[in-house]
Amino acid sequence: MTPAPSSRLGGIGFITGDGRPDYLPELANQVFHDARIAPGRSVALDYQPLANPAYETDRTGERLLAADLDRLPTPCIGDG
């Protein structure tokens, strides 16, 4: 049986891996900070370095960075 083109390029369809057992544990960390920048507003930063994504040493590490700006709800006074 001839392997599918995706398996010749390092994958076996939607399943991670190419059949060669050179796997290591996936390592992930997270640094998160949330700060109030004004009354009713906050900003959050999130950084996640990832080594051996999908447990494969052949894949390069990833670095994920996210930012979130929130507007906190203000209470309604006098409704009722």
Measured CA distances, 39 to 59, 69, 73, 75 (Å): 44, 13, 10, 13
On whether residue 20 sits in a domain, the answer given is no
Query: Residue 8 has which token pair?
Result: 């010749």
38 domain-assigned: yes
What pLDDT is stored for residue 34 in this prediction? 92
In a domain, 51, yes or no: yes
Give domain status of residue 23, yes or no.
no
Could you say which residues of the chain have pLDDT below 70? 1-21, 74-76, 78-80
Domain that holds residue 66: 32-71
pLDDT at residue number 32: 93
Domains held by the chain: number = 1
Kindly report the backbone phi and psi dihedral angles of residue 44, in degrees, each rounded to the nearest multiple of 5, phi listed first.
-125, 140
Question: Per the domain annotation, does 24 fall within a domain?
Answer: no
CA distance 55 to 73: 41
pTM equals: 0.58
In a domain, 7, yes or no: no
In a domain, 66, yes or no: yes
Could you tell me if residue 48 is inside a domain? yes
Per residue in 42-62, pLDDT (tens digit) is 999 999 999 888 777 777 788
